[in-house]
Amino acid sequence: MPVFDLGRVRNWTSVPAPRFVGGNRVELLEGGAALFPRMLEAIAGAEREVWLATYIFHDDESALGIAQALGAAAARGVAVHVVVDGFGSKGTLATLRAALVPAGVAFEVFRPIERWYALLQPGQLRRLHQKLCVVDERIAFVGGINLIDDRLDLRHGWNPEPRLDYAVELSGPLAVAVHATARAMWARAHLGQNWRDGVRQVVRSGAPVNEGLAMLRSLRGAARLPEEADTSPVRAAFVVRDNFRQRRAIERSYVDAIRRAVHSVDIAVPYFYPGRRFRRALRQAAKRGVTVRLLLQGKIDYRIAALAARALYAELQAYGVRIYEYTPAYLHAKVAVVDGRWATVGSSNIDPLSLLLNLEANVVVDDEPFAATLAARFQAAFAVSTPVGSTPARAGWRGWVQRAAVAWMANVYLRVAGITGRY
């Protein structure tokens, strides 16, 4: 009977704990128009391996350009691994397989949905929402940008203006952590749509071990960040929400930064319905004199999500939080700047799905020049957004009923997904 090394599987499927390390280069990229050419250049220069994880991998011209580059890299002998979410990329899986697999790309689907009733299975509400690409453990891309044209929305079609979204290109010690996480997402999909149950099944049967682990044995051991790293030029951390040991890591990073804020907190996010701790941190920051500004959707893609966010407007405005709605295009950015130094760019919204269900990834940067660059983008976005006036009518019983209804729906959704406790 084959020997099954559970510790080794945990190595393959676990992600590194967040930790600030120095010696990184981090550059802000706005939209796919800036991101995709950089990814193409990095993939074209790959010597050993490329790992890519994304929620949406579409079949428009921009996305297929990435697919062709991945296939070309695999054809010349680079080990290319791609994992996409089974819901976000459901409509393009056949196209992706046809473009990638014949070229030698190791292609996996995270929690595939082959029939509509698959959504009723345990865990199917928890999706791979990360957007990661790492080349040779040297160059990494992290953010909120899916592989789809900036002007194309899957629900609403083509738009005249590109959506507002961001990613970062980074190199240095932090690229090792991104590599470990992208590999873990691919390995979990490879082992099965519920990787922990898959491990248990393999342990019980013994027989499927060799086939299931043959490819994984060719991978290197879990990547570790250096114990000591330079304190320059940029200190940054890679923060992951992984549905396992780090369920609240991204939420904690936000809340801790807001609690320490002295001067300013700027947050941009399309889907906003934070839990009580997060809202309390925002209220208390504004109450002690910190300028707190939220940039939320003005051009709505999901009306229920917009109603949930607006149910909180009066509560937050009562403490001095300023709210703006971005109207020139769809807002997809998940970014923040605190006190002109702490900044984050990633895939995590501030709602129950991102904070408690989906697999997410953010880069947190402790660097004044980087924060200043992102703050300038905030100022430009605020300048073309609509300030939301106070909403006193919702501060009474109508507002309470609306917030209670949204909270009830959020809790029901989380319980269906297997998350217990109040939100």
Give the residue numbers marked as catalytic.
129, 131, 136, 332, 334, 339
CB distance 14 to 222 below 8 Å: yes
- Alpha helices for 16-159 (secondary structure H): 31-44, 61-75, 93-100
Which helix (H) or strand (E) is 27 found in, with range?
A: strand 21-30
Cis peptide before 233 (omega within 30 of 0): yes
CB distance 142 to 345 below 8 Å: yes
CA 190 to mean position of chain CA atoms: 20
Measured from the Cβ of residue 406, the count of other Cβ atoms closer than 10 Å reads 18
CB distance 238 to 16 below 8 Å: yes
What residue type is 77 in one-letter code? Answer: G
Cα distance between residue 423 and residue 356, in whole Å: 9
**Rounded to 5 degrees, what are φ and ψ at 369?**
-60, -40
Burial class (CB in 10 A: 0-12, 13-18, 19+), 347: buried
Choose among 369, 330, 370: nearest CA to 144. Answer: 330
Cα distance between residue 350 and residue 274, in whole Å: 5
The C-alpha R_g of the chain, in whole angstroms, comes to: 21
Sign, CA torsion 145/123/217/106: negative
Cα distance between residue 145 and residue 130, in whole Å: 9
What residue type is 332 in one-letter code? Answer: H
Beta bridge partners of 265: 292, 338
Cα distance between residue 55 and residue 132, in whole Å: 10
CB distance 39 to 243 below 8 Å: no
CB distance 349 to 269 below 8 Å: yes
